[in-house]
């Protein structure tokens, strides 16, 4: 009798252990299949801009980007209140902390000298997708990831840019893979 109780107790332990590992998988499957419990909140503050061409297609005067390939760009139109806009994005760049070297600021327009870490250029031709004070986050491949209007707060751009940098590790710092 006691042997049967011990075997039953061992089986219950095994079933409990299986349930501990199976329940999260089953609940995740239910969430995905029936869309239950998945948050619908918006995480990006900027807007996607599929109609904006890649950076190499922008009608810009000559400019030289950072020496290192693979930087993200924070491009901004500086045709209105340029000194304030340049300072605003310089402060955001500094607030990125240790991630700041991965980002280059591209100022388009304005009559002031470039601030540290900034590349300045001019529009050769004003494209129809451009607006005064517009800000774009551009990935290392030159694709526009997010676009912001002039009224955007620095905090929103900072949140989005920090998230993008965190989700896309710097390839330059990854160890080389052997055998590729």
CA 5 – CA 8 distance, rounded (Å): 5
Residues 71-91: pLDDT tens digits? 899 999 988 888 888 889 999
139/103 Cα distance (integer angstroms): 10
CA–CA separation, 159 vs 169, rounded Å? 16
- Is the pLDDT reported for residue 114 higher than 90? no
d(CA 54, CA 177): 29
Q: What is the DSSP string of 125-150?
A: S--TT--TT-EEEE-TTS-EEEEE-T
- Look over the chain and give the mean of its residue pLDDT values, rounded to a whole number: 84
Of the pLDDT bands very low, low, confident and very high (cuts 50, 70, 90), residue 110 is confident
pLDDT at 10 over 60: yes
């Amino acid at each position: 009798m006691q042997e049967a109780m011990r075997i039953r107790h061992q089986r219950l332990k095994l079933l409990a252990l299986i349930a501990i590992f199976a329940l999260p998988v089953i609940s995740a499957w239910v969430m995905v299949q029936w869309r239950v419990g998945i948050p619908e909140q918006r995480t990006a503050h900027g807007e996607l801009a599929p109609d904006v061409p890649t950076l190499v297609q922008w009608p810009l005067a000559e400019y030289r980007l950072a020496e290192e390939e693979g930087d993200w760009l924070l491009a901004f139109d500086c045709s209105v209140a340029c000194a304030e806009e340049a300072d605003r994005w310089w402060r955001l760049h500094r607030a990125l902390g240790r991630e700041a070297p991965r980002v280059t600021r591209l100022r388009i327009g304005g009559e002031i000298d470039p601030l540290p870490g900034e590349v300045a250029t001019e529009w050769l031709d004003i494209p129809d997708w451009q607006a005064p004070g517009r800000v774009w986050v551009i990935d290392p491949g030159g694709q526009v990831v997010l676009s912001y209007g002039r009224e955007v707060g620095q905090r929103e751009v900072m949140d989005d840019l920090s998230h993008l940098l965190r989700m896309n590790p710097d390839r330059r710092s990854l160890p080389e893979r052997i055998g590729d």
